[in-house]
Structure 1
Amino acid sequence: MKIAIVGLSGCGKSTCFRAITQKTKRESEGLDPTKPHLGVVKVPDWRLEMLKSLFNPKKITPAEITFEDLPGFHIPHIKEIEALMEVLGVFAGRDPVKDMDDIGVEFILADTEVVKHRLSSLDKEMKQDRSPEKTREHETLLKCRECLERNMPIRSITLTHDEEKSIRGFQFLTGKPIVIVGNIGEDQTGSGVTGAIEAECARRGFKSVEFCAELEAEIADIDEPERGPFLKELGIEQLARDRVIDIAYQALGYITFFTTKGDETKAWPVKNGVTALEAAGKIHSDIQRGFIRAEIVNFTDLEACGSVQEARKKALVRLEGKEYVVRDGDIVDFRFNV
Structure 2
Amino acid sequence: MKIGIVGAQSAGKSTVFQALTGLPPIVGQPEAKNRARLGQIKVADVRLDLLESLYGSKKKIPVELTLLDFAANPKEQKPGSSLDPTLPGLIRDLDALLLVVGQFADPGPAGRAFQSLDDELIFADFDQAERRLERVRKDRSASDFERTTLEKLLKSLEAGSPLRLREMTAQEERIFSSFGFLSRKPAFVVINCDIDSASSDPDPADRELATTRGLELFKLAASFESELAELTSDEQRDLLAEAGLAAPARDRLVTALYRRLGLITFYTAGEPEAHAWPLTAGATALEAADRIHSDIARGFIRAEVVGFEDFAALRSDAKVKEAGKLRLEGRDYVMRDGDIIHIRFKA
Q: Do Structure 1 and Structure 2 share a fold, with TM-score over 0.5? A: yes
Are 2:145 and 1:136 equivalent residues in the alignment?
yes
Question: 1:166 and 2:175 equivalent?
Answer: yes
Would the aligned equivalents of 2:100 and 2:189 in 1 still touch at CA under 8 Å?
yes
* 8 Å CA contact retained: 1:39, 1:66: yes
1:61 matches 2:66: no
- Work out whether residues 189 and 217 of structure 2, in 8 Å CA contact, stay in contact via their aligned partners in 1: yes
SS at match of 1:281: helix
Residue 77 of structure 1 deviates from its aligned partner by: 0.8
1:90–1:183: 8 Å Cα contact kept in structure 2? yes
> Is 1:89 equivalent to 2:98 in the alignment?
no
Secondary structure of the equivalent of 2:232?
A: helix
In 2 relative to 1, CA 194–17 (structure 1 residues): closer, same or farther, beyond 3 Å? farther
Change (3 A) 1:140 1:302: farther
Q: CA RMSD of the aligned region, Å?
A: 2.3
Conserved? CA contact 1:5–1:17, under 8 Å? yes
- Asked if residue 228 in structure 1 is aligned to residue 241 in structure 2, the reply is no
**1:192/1:82 Cα in 2 relative to 1: closer, same or farther (>3 Å)?**
closer
Q: 1:179, 1:247 within 8 Å by CA — same for their partners in 2?
A: no
Tell me which residue corresponds to 1:107: 121
Q: Percent identity?
A: 38
- The alignment status of 1:303 with 2:317, answered yes or no, reads no
Which has the larger displacement, 250-259 or 287-296? Answer: 250-259
User: Is the contact between residue 42 and residue 63 of structure 1 (CA under 8 Å) also seen in structure 2?
Assistant: yes
Paired with 1:291 and 1:321, the residues of 2 have a C-alpha distance of: 9
CA contact (8 A) 2:17 2:25 kept: no
| Runs of 4+ residues deviating >6 angstroms | none
Could you tell me which residue of structure 2 aligns to residue 246 of structure 1? 255
Q: Which runs of 5+ in 1 are unaligned?
A: none
Partner residue of 1:208? 217
| Distance in 2 separating the partners of 1:195 and 1:158 | 26
Offset of 1:267 from its aligned partner?
Answer: 0.6
Letter in structure 2 aligned against 1:56: G
Work out the CA distance in 2 between the residues paired with 1:249 and 1:205.
Answer: 16
Q: 1:122 aligns with which of 136, 152, 161?
A: 136
Distance in 2 separating the partners of 1:310 and 1:195: 52
**What 5-or-longer segments of structure 2 have no aligned partner?**
73-82
Give 2:113's aligned amino acid.
D
- Return the TM-score normalized by structure 2: 0.86
Q: Number of matched residues? A: 326
Change (3 A) 1:201 1:307: farther
TM-score (norm 1): 0.88
Deviation per CA, 1:232-286: give whole Å up to 9, x if none: 4425463222111332343333321110133200011223332212221222222
CA distance in 2, matches of 1:110, 1:218: 36
Q: SS state of the match for residue 19, structure 1?
A: helix
